[in-house]
Structure 1
Amino acid sequence: MTAFRTSSGREAVTDSTLPPLPDRLSVDPRSPHHKPEFFEQDIGIHFNGKERFDVEEYCVSEGWIKVPAGKTLDRKGRPLLITLKGKVEAFVKPAAAS
């Protein structure tokens, strides 16, 4: 495992056997940006300097995240998503010590 400082000054830990996180990733299995191999690790998102826990999709290069709009559902029963723009930073959370 390797530790490094991110641009925001936070320390991130990566496992050298895992590929780096993609620029765009989605939780939805129907999305072309869904890559299940990345969900084997715990991924965190910092948005405008704060960690968000409700992110459904993100794009680092374009600077946006998609989050549910409260309890609102679309006509197919899925959460209605809104897009928030700002500084996005994806990172791998360190494994919890047992």
Structure 2
Amino acid sequence: MEPSTSYPPLPDRLSADPRSPHHVAAVFEHDVGIRFNGKERHDVEEYCISEGWVKVPAGKTLDRKGQPLLIKLKGTVEPFYR
């Protein structure tokens, strides 16, 4: 088991894209999980707890810059450290 380390607090809004202003690199040094509507999701690119949404890729569709096209799903968002 790992020695007890202090994790940085999870922000209200977090993005996995390093170009986003909502990307916090210190959080991604640890393994972050997202529980959306009671189920754990592994494909979440961005979330917002206060507004209650997550953004996930829409299949294999890409935008004109080659990034995955994201869709917004609304519901209960619970981030946690694994």
Fold equivalence (TM over 0.5): yes
Deviations 1:24-46 (A, max 9, x none): 10000110000111001100000
User: Residue 66 of structure 1 corresponds to which residue in structure 2?
Assistant: 55
Greater Rg over alpha carbons, structure:
1
Name the % identity: 73
**In 2, Cα distance between the equivalents of 1:32 and 1:84?**
21
**In 2, Cα distance between the equivalents of 1:19 and 1:39?**
10
Structure 1's consecutive aligned runs of 4 or more residues displaced over 3 angstroms after TM superposition are none
Q: State how many pairs are aligned.
A: 79
User: Residue 26 of structure 1 corresponds to which residue in structure 2?
Assistant: 15
1:76 aligns with 2:76: no
Residue among 20, 29, 32 paired with 1:43: 32
Structure 2 gap segments, 5+ residues each:
none
Query: With structure 1 as the length reference, what TM-score do the two structures score?
Result: 0.77
**In 2, Cα distance between the equivalents of 1:38 and 1:20?**
8
Query: With structure 2 as the length reference, what TM-score do the two structures score?
Result: 0.92
| Letter in structure 2 aligned against 1:55 | V
User: Residue 77 of structure 2 corresponds to which residue in structure 1?
Assistant: 88
